[in-house]
Amino acid sequence: MKPLLQVAPKRGVPGIAKKAISYRLLRVNVNGAWHEFAIGRDIAPNMTLAFLLREKLGLVGLKLGCDQGACGACTVLMDGKAAVLSCMVLAVQAHERHILTIEGLPEDDPVVESFAEQSAPGYGTALQCGICTPGFVMTVKGFLNENPDPTLAEIKEALSGNICRCGCYAGIAQATLRAAEKMRIKRTRESA
């Protein structure tokens, strides 16, 4: 991790003698925009990335299902590729990193489209209450980045860290297969 920057506050507090306070600065890119937070003033040093995203930036797509790394609902992508559990990452560990949340995905993202197409009510749906969906979508994106042509067994293994309390696992696996197919078609078109 790159070292955090030292910054001095821009203004003193009126009526109080100036003290040499300086803050370390967290710089993080979220969904394409850079944000800066003074550690100790804007955020606590032990704040999680999940808390920063939800409470400081209002990105409430990710959910805090367990807050202890057991459900996958808080998954985001770091540096474009790897899916990480944002409840298990300190905000300061995201210094100078690029974070992608569900809000940063376009509507025509192949994974988003695949989940939407697999959402008709009834058996085989990929989403019922939708609480787990952002976490699954981001996990699937990270997985397909690494394995663009997975088997059903590989998909089940890759998604085994995410919990869906509505039990939509079969539909989610089908949506993942569909997303992989869409991405294959897109790659073929782009390379033609």
Return residues touching ligand FES (CB under 6 A).
Answer: 64-67, 69-74, 85, 87, 127-132, 164-166, 168
- Shortest distance, CB of residue 11 to ligand FES, whole angstroms? 37
| Torsion angle, alpha carbons of 91, 96, 98, 104, to 10 | 70
The HSE-up count of residue 136 (CA atoms within 13 Å, CB side) is 32
Q: At what angle do helices 110-117 and 133-146 cross, to 10 degrees?
A: 130
Rg of the chain's alpha carbons, rounded to an integer?
Answer: 19
Nearer to ligand FES by C-beta: 29 or 119?
A: 119
User: Rounded to an integer, what distance in angstroms lies between the CA atom of residue 128 and that of residue 157?
Assistant: 22
CA angle, 150 then 177 then 122, to 5°: 145
- Shortest distance, CB of residue 121 to ligand FES, whole angstroms? 11
Nearer to ligand FES by C-beta: 155 or 168?
A: 168
- Shortest distance, CB of residue 136 to ligand FES, whole angstroms? 7
Nearer to ligand FES by C-beta: 23 or 162?
A: 162
Nearer to ligand FES by C-beta: 23 or 73?
A: 73
- Shortest distance, CB of residue 176 to ligand FES, whole angstroms? 14
